[in-house]
Amino acid sequence: MVLETRAVEPFFKNGYVLGCEETREAIVIDPGDEVEELLSALTEHQLTAKYILLTHAHLDHITGVGRARRALGVPVGLHREDNFLYEHAVQQGLMFGLQVERQPPVDFFYDGEGPWRFGRYDVRVLHTPGHCPGGVCLVVQKQNEGKPSLFVGDTLFAGSIGRTDLPGGNLETLLKSIRDVLFSFPDDTIVYSGHGEPTTIGRERRSNPFLV
């Protein structure tokens, strides 16, 4: 799988481009302020995007959606329960003292697990609320082979967990999502978070101070 990560100030939120090495189909996950770099990565790898998929709708994960959608002409997916956050992008920006443009409406809500497909890869969507009501984990796996990789948004980080003090956040719900959904994957499953470096399920299961 082609995998490119980009993060820029002020939030240093990870935006991802995932591509199928055979068919050159791709997805973009959480385009934010680094959207131009994600678009460049698509071009560099000669990839054609099929979807823009959002892990959740906090400001840092959506500020590049409009730009990406205009450039790529592909549908944007989000969990229904985060649409209230998505529609309040401008107000979210004001909380950080930032002027943010309103984003175009999403094209579809995740309706069940999927899968959504790019080339030989499947993306399953697992609801993992707690950091926000509509947070999801995107489970990416090559069809009929290979191990899944998890794109968890801000639910779980290397050595930490997502904050739960924003609207719709709940600590108990978050811990339950991590234990019941994320920790159901094997220890060697790689976790790509919304911020910071990748980690593994095993490492977090053993050493994450919020979970041991």
- Nearer to Zn ion by Cβ, of 119 and 169: the residue is 169
Minimum distance, C-beta of residue 53 to Zn ion, in the bound complex (Å): 15
> Should residue 79 be labelled a site residue for Zn ion when binding is judged by CB under 5 A?
no
What residue is closest to Zn ion based on CB? 58
Q: How far is CA 80 from CA 6, 22, 27, 64, in A?
A: 26, 32, 20, 19
Residues 1-40 as x/- pattern, contact with Zn ion by CB under 5 A: ------------x---------------------------
Q: How far is CA 10 from CA 7, 44, 150, in A?
A: 9, 25, 24
The token pair that represents 59 in the structure block? 């400001």
Q: Which of 6, 50, 58, 79 binds Zn ion (CB under 5 A)?
A: 58
Tell how strand 190-193 and strand 149-153 pair up.
parallel
Q: Which of 136, 194, 199, 204 binds Zn ion (CB under 5 A)?
A: 194
- Nearer to Zn ion by Cβ, of 50 and 131: the residue is 131
Q: How far is CA 20 from CA 24, 38, 151, 167, in A?
A: 5, 16, 16, 36
Which one-letter amino acid corresponds to residue 36? E
The token pair that represents 67 in the structure block? 């730009």
- Nearer to Zn ion by Cβ, of 48 and 164: the residue is 164
Site residues (vs Zn ion, CB under 5 A): 13, 58, 60, 154, 194
